[in-house]
Amino acid sequence: MKVAVVGATGMVGEVLLHLLEARNFPVTELIPVASERSAGSNIYFRDKAYKIITIEEAIDQSPDIALFSAGGELSKEWAPRFAEKGTFVIDNSSAWRMDPNIKLVIPEINGELLTKEDKIIANPNCSTTQMAMVMAPLHRKYTIQKLVVSTYQSVTGTGKAAVEQMENEEKGITNTMVYPYPIYRNAIPHCDVFEDNGFTKEELKLMNEPLKILGDDSIEIIATAVRIPTVGGHSESVTMTFEKEPNLSELRKILHETNGIKLQDNPLTNTYPMPLFSHNKDEVFVGRIRKSPKNPKEVNLWIVSDNLRKGAATNAIQIAEIVERIITNRELKSIFNK
């Protein structure tokens, strides 16, 4: 495969390059793409130097697959142009997620829906992905009626400048502020911009994207997204209200047997998910599973995942692995585990 990585010098772009190598993706030619400021410099992939080029130059090379991680505005402009050339575009931005003509894909949930006609494929929001991974098997079994989620999101979700702000504040250095307040030793209930209804765009992504992925818009979701001074992953406190009362032993067994989920749920040994454990891992970690004392159909869970891995780059590479099989007309069934 001839593969372009658009946004190769960003945080997600760097992880994409690492995973292409770590997962032995069949890259015959790498096309690293970044801004004009970075163009001309080199990156290294599989011990070989590759010159970074601009997106204008990349489209002329007609890649088989283009992994976009450079923002929504760039994706809106350039993804259709790549698609017209026959390139499969896997986009990490929010540009195409809610487009009714574009599939929003988590391979473990709905990857089998992809076809050779899907030239633009949307990668979900990082917080959505880890939550939907847990929702999907439980919704199939018990039917989720309502879900309330509060997130505790790593500064890495904002990018390198946010990590620098946190590190500078920790050292007592005053520098560029990405957030409206200091993030070190703080929690900011403000991820993305506020909309007229009082929710932020990040919260609305959590409220809308899972419905599209699961193919069920009957679920009521309420979200509050909070930025905290951590790296290694996003955390979520989730309360699900089901139509059918779940048995917790059965529920835990379902999660334990779901591909891509790792159960960490033993309060007696202080075993529960944390960003400390999810950092640089591809799994979605789930624990603190308990029923509401007054509603046996209501279950509380704690979900953690590395937002740069399964929340972004890993999911994109998993989609690319499906696309590679579509391009080469190989069997898909073996890579799906329901």
All structural domains of the chain, each given as residue ranges with its CATH number in brackets, are 2-123+311-335 (3.40.50.720), 127-307 (3.30.360.10)
CA distance 85 to 101: 18
For 90, list phi and psi in degrees, rounded to 5: -110, 110
Residue of 18, 126, 139, 190 marked active site: 126
Mean local confidence (pLDDT), 302-307? 98
pLDDT in tens, 195-219: 999 999 999 999 999 999 999 999 9
Residues with Cβ within 8 Å of 173's Cβ and at least 6 positions away in sequence, in order, are: none
pLDDT at res. 333: 62
Using alpha carbons, select from 198, 200, 193, 194 the residue that is nearest to residue 225: 200
Residues of the chain with pLDDT > 70, as a percent, come to 98
Confidence of residue 335 (pLDDT cuts 50, 70, 90): low
CA distance 218 to 207: 11
CA distance 243 to 297: 7
Q: In this model, does residue 303 exceed pLDDT 70?
A: yes
256: annotated active-site residue:
no
Number of other residues whose CB lies within 10 A of the CB of residue 319: 25
126: annotated active-site residue:
yes
Residue of 190, 234, 256, 279 marked active site: 234
Contact 132, 213 (CB under 8 A): yes
Question: Lowest-confidence range among 162-166, 171-175, 288-292?
Answer: 171-175
Contact 8, 52 (CB under 8 A): yes
- Residue 53 is classified by DSSP as B
pLDDT at res. 177: 94
Confidence of residue 338 (pLDDT cuts 50, 70, 90): very low
Mean pLDDT, rounded, of the chain: 96
pTM: 0.95
pLDDT at res. 137: 98
Confidence of residue 330 (pLDDT cuts 50, 70, 90): confident
CA dihedral angle for residue 256, residue 257, residue 261, residue 263, rounded to 10 degrees:
10
Q: Which amino acid is at 242?
A: F
CA distance 13 to 22: 14
pLDDT in tens, 39-89: 889 999 999 999 999 999 999 999 999 999 999 999 999 999 999 999 999
For 169, list phi and psi in degrees, rounded to 5: -65, -35
pLDDT at res. 37: 85
Contact 129, 315 (CB under 8 A): yes
CA atoms within 13 A on the CB side of 285: 25
Q: What is the DSSP string of 182-220?
A: --TT--BS--SPBPTTS-BHHHHHHHHHHHHHHT-TT-E
pLDDT at res. 175: 87
Mean local confidence (pLDDT), 215-233? 97
